[in-house]
Structure 1
Amino acid sequence: MPSVAAVERSVVPEIAAAAAVLRSGGVAALNQFEVEAKRESLPAVYAVDERGQDILGRSLPSGAWEQAQQWVREGNFSQQVRTVQMEDGHRYVLFITALDRRFGAKPLPFPGGRSPPYAPLLPVMPVIMGLLTSLLFSAGLAWYLSKPIRHLGAAFKAMASGQLDTRVEPAIGRRRDELADLGREFDHMAQRIGTLVVAQRRLLHDVSHELRSPLARLHAAVGLARQQPDKTDASLDRIEREAGRLDELVGEVLTLSRLEAGVAGIAAEEVDLGELLESILEDARFEAAAKNVVVEYAGITEIRIQGHAELILRAIENILRNAVKYTPPGKSVRVETHFTSDGQRVHLMILDQGSGVSETQLASIFKPFFRGGADNQTGFGLGLAIARRAVEAHGGSIIAKNRPEGGLRIEMVLPVEQALE
């Protein structure tokens, strides 16, 4: 037979409490205990004497007393039965027939594997309600998580069909999870792709337009050579000039296209901007001398930047040659450089004394194939466009302003790797 301590640990609290009340206060105390237990909806604890009668006068459920006796005879003290030996010699058997279902307790089976006739019912309704609640919550959560995925799937299909203005951020709303971040990255990608495609389409349109003029002159020169054999040399000279223009145009277009795509095609290196400027100024002064224009320089002599020397050279050279081109004879072009106050960027300004540009056209001079009106039809209009793309590829910026005293001022800002005093 198990020890008293083991039995105390194995019984449910109601039986242990009823046994303690009966041992200390007798039948009257147990009766009061059961009244309080019934008020609290606790399971009833029966106390049966040697005659098989409940000492509180209650009727025993059918078969309950027989099962309790069998457990006591076999020494099989379950969680629902125990004996109490009183000081007056009386011995009582305390047991519970069925636990309240709210406690979720499971009574031990009858000896021999038989189920007691008073076995508690399973909590079917709470289980069903729990399952339904879980299903509804899971369905709502799945819908919430899959909503941005559905929007992304539809956006990818729209992009694949050519709708480059497709965006998903308005549909995602104010979400701040990883799926929302993915949607914003998609919008950034779509915007970049749209910009590149539009730029390529515009470039192809402009190139096709620009190619018509030299090709038409080539055809005219060939026709003239056939009709007037005595002017073959002049026609060949014209063909050579137009072929050179076509070669120059193709080179400019390829450079601009490479910059539009964000691929310079040249490995980044350390560039001494002062040394690069010295070379550019030497060439510009040689060309400017032919039209009696002076090129002046004032600023820093040594500046280290990280970038592509050829692209920086093309950007500065294009702007400087334009300045020399539109500056009247006897005037000057001035180039200035200085650091920002924090020493992290360098400003390079090119100031000419030409007629300037109308305020309405200032924002357009950096666009490809823009040539500023009927009085300016020389060149291809790609020099400033290439300059802007080259500067932006280095993380810099470029702006143009009219000077109060006349002429145009173009300012480039480039990040500095290291400045040498």
Structure 2
Amino acid sequence: MGRLFWKFFFFIAIAQITATFGVGVLFWVENLERNNRNSEIDLSPPASFMIRSAAATLQFGGAEALRSLINEGRQHRLQLYAVDEDNKDLMGREVSPKLVEEARALLRTERERDRRVVELVRAANGHSYLMFIPAPSDEFAPGPGPGPGREPRHMRDRGPQPLFFPSMPIAVALVASLVFALLLAWYFSYPIRHLKNAFNQAASGNLDLELEPVMSSRSDELADLGRDFDVMTAKLRTLMESQRRLLHDVSHELRSPIARLQMAIGLARVQDKDKLDLTLERIERESVRMDKLVGELLTLSRLEANVPGSMEEPIAIQPMLADMINDASFEAGANGKHIEGHIDCRVQIKGNPELLYRAIENVLRNAIKHTAADTTVELHTQLDEINKLLHLSILDRGPGVPEDELNSIFELFFRSSRTKSNSSGHGLGLSIARRIIDAHSGFIRAANRRDGGLRVDITLPFMADEPVKGQTLES
């Protein structure tokens, strides 16, 4: 049992025991008060009527007439007492002092209903008689007084009755409280022990442990925590696998230019001066390729670590696209290709201008690279004023992408089967573009054109809209 179990058990048990004793004391006090309130004098309307009749009989007929009335009542098992100043009954019966004292207390009470069941009448013989009727009871005992009949239980001098504390109910409640506190503490601490073990396993590198099978029977917050742990470990496994795959792909991509550099250096050592310039040019080209790859990897690392820099700058997207088209036109024109832009998007986008420029440029240069000679790469923009979204489309006339690879072209180091043989890239441009677009709360997707070529659509939210006349840029 862990410390958490005993903490749960201790505080739950203390709360249960306190509640149990509190309820027990309340019942005890209530029972005490009820015992004090229970009257042994008959307070019913018939008793009140009988007392008034006896008072009239004593007042107008004397003690002998009252004695005859009491004897007649005893034949009907009705006990009426007439006690003088010395607490002696008119019929010579033994009367409990407690009963007499209660009758005198009722005589002094302010409640009219209680005063009617007792009467104090002064008789002709000079004695004052207090008359009352004991409360009815099912228990009778032989009485020492004269006359037929049996005496009620009020005649027995039982003495002071002990007041018992309800120890048995409290003991039962105490045992039940401890048992339920034990079960409740175990119910809470059991899944927490599994969570602790799972976190220890994850800290040691074992991410294969799942809590869903252990907590599948529960439907509380601890079960939700277990499911969240499983989701977390699944994402960690994916990230670690992605990291291993990235390291493998990077090492593979770097191995080829490094091997060519080493070969070129070896050739430079044995070649004559006439061929040395070609070898140095080869070394420079491979160095540029490696520098470009390292730069892309650094950008990718920043995006993966969620530290892309400031993402709060307002970006005027239309001037950015115009500059981008002008810069890319030189590359396209050198290869007999053209760029045509239809942009009408004088809006502002919140983000990082350098990263956003690079993302759109990667898509645009990828389209220029794969479009056929003497064809045109088109760039279109459209504004959704209702949802405040900018739709940017880049269309080429290249070989396109197989349908089953459309979702994969944005993955790291992926190159389509249709362009792998003649591609000089590393498969990072579109992957970086997707991560940058995601960082700007947008999304990117690709689709094949019906008449040949690839269409890449980028959607970005904008924050300011100042529509102006559209412009068409051609090259």
Shorter chain as denominator, the TM-score bin is: 0.7 to 0.9
Structure 2 equivalent of residue 4 of structure 1: none
Structure 1 equivalent of residue 451 of structure 2: 405
What letter corresponds to residue 322 of structure 2 in structure 1?
E
What letter corresponds to residue 38 of structure 2 in structure 1?
E
How far 1:409 sits from its partner (Å)? Answer: 0.6
1:295 to 330, 339, 343: 339
Structure 2 equivalent of residue 359 of structure 1: 403
CA contact (8 A) 1:270 1:307 kept: yes
Counterparts in 2 of 1:15 and 1:328: CA distance versus 1, 3 Å:
same
Cα distance in 2 for residues equivalent to 1:54 and 1:210: 125
How far 1:379 sits from its partner (Å)? Answer: 1.2
- Count of matched residue positions in the alignment of Structure 1 and Structure 2: 372
How far 1:233 sits from its partner (Å)? Answer: 3.5
Counterparts in 2 of 1:222 and 1:94: CA distance versus 1, 3 Å:
farther
CA contact (8 A) 1:355 1:406 kept: yes
Structure 2 equivalent of residue 44 of structure 1: none
What letter corresponds to residue 217 of structure 1 in structure 2?
R
What is the SS of the residue equivalent to 2:38?
Answer: helix
Q: Could you say which structure has the greater relative contact order, defined with CA pairs below 8 angstroms and 6 or more residues apart?
A: 2
Does 1:138 pair with 2:181? yes
Flag the structure with larger Rg. 2
Does 1:378 pair with 2:411? no
Counterparts in 2 of 1:54 and 1:369: CA distance versus 1, 3 Å:
farther
Structure 2 equivalent of residue 280 of structure 1: 324
- Summarize the alignment of residues 179-198 of structure 1 with structure 2, pairs less than 5 Å apart: 179=222, 182-183=225-226, 185-198=228-241
Structure 2 equivalent of residue 239 of structure 1: 283
What is the SS of the residue equivalent to 2:444?
Answer: strand
Structure 1 equivalent of residue 3 of structure 2: none
1:14-60 superposed Cα distances (whole Å, 9 cap, x missing partner): 2176356755545869x9899xxxxxxxxxxxx996359999x9x99
CA contact (8 A) 1:48 1:93 kept: no
Cα distance in 1 for residues equivalent to 2:214 and 2:246: 33
2:315 to 243, 247, 271: 271
Counterparts in 2 of 1:171 and 1:297: CA distance versus 1, 3 Å:
farther
Does 1:387 pair with 2:427? no
What is the SS of the residue equivalent to 1:400?
Answer: strand
Counterparts in 2 of 1:233 and 1:321: CA distance versus 1, 3 Å:
same
Structure 1 equivalent of residue 251 of structure 2: 208
1:366-392 superposed Cα distances (whole Å, 9 cap, x missing partner): 111112234234111100110111111
Counterparts in 2 of 1:283 and 1:92: CA distance versus 1, 3 Å:
same
Does 1:258 pair with 2:292? no
Counterparts in 2 of 1:70 and 1:91: CA distance versus 1, 3 Å:
closer
CA contact (8 A) 2:42 2:133 kept: no
How far 1:283 sits from its partner (Å)? Answer: 1.0
Does 1:118 pair with 2:150? no
What is the SS of the residue equivalent to 1:263?
Answer: coil
Cα distance in 1 for residues equivalent to 2:195 and 2:78: 67
1:53-93 superposed Cα distances (whole Å, 9 cap, x missing partner): 999x9x99xxxx68x59999xx9xxxxxx998534513679
Does 1:159 pair with 2:202? yes
Counterparts in 2 of 1:127 and 1:343: CA distance versus 1, 3 Å:
closer
- The range that moved more, 252-261 or 338-347, is 338-347
What letter corresponds to residue 14 of structure 1 in structure 2?
N
1:144-166 superposed Cα distances (whole Å, 9 cap, x missing partner): 33344334323312321223355
Does 1:15 pair with 2:39? yes
CA contact (8 A) 2:345 2:382 kept: no
2:130 to 68, 87, 90: 90
What is the SS of the residue equivalent to 1:15?
Answer: coil
Cα distance in 2 for residues equivalent to 1:124 and 1:382: 80
Cα distance in 2 for residues equivalent to 1:33 and 1:337: 110
Cα distance in 2 for residues equivalent to 1:10 and 1:133: 28
Q: TM-score, normalised by structure 1?
A: 0.75
Structure 2 equivalent of residue 326 of structure 1: 370
What is the SS of the residue equivalent to 2:264?
Answer: helix
Q: Structure 1 vs Structure 2: percent identity of aligned residues?
A: 42
Q: Structure 2: where are the runs of 5+ without partners? A: 1-32, 52-69, 106-113, 122-128, 136-158, 468-475
Counterparts in 2 of 1:275 and 1:135: CA distance versus 1, 3 Å:
same
What is the SS of the residue equivalent to 1:375?
Answer: coil
CA contact (8 A) 2:118 2:132 kept: yes
Note the aligned Cα RMSD (angstroms): 4.1
Counterparts in 2 of 1:13 and 1:339: CA distance versus 1, 3 Å:
same
What is the SS of the residue equivalent to 1:244?
Answer: helix
1:67-122 superposed Cα distances (whole Å, 9 cap, x missing partner): x59999xx9xxxxxx99853451367979xxxxxxxxxxxxxxxxxxxx7731433
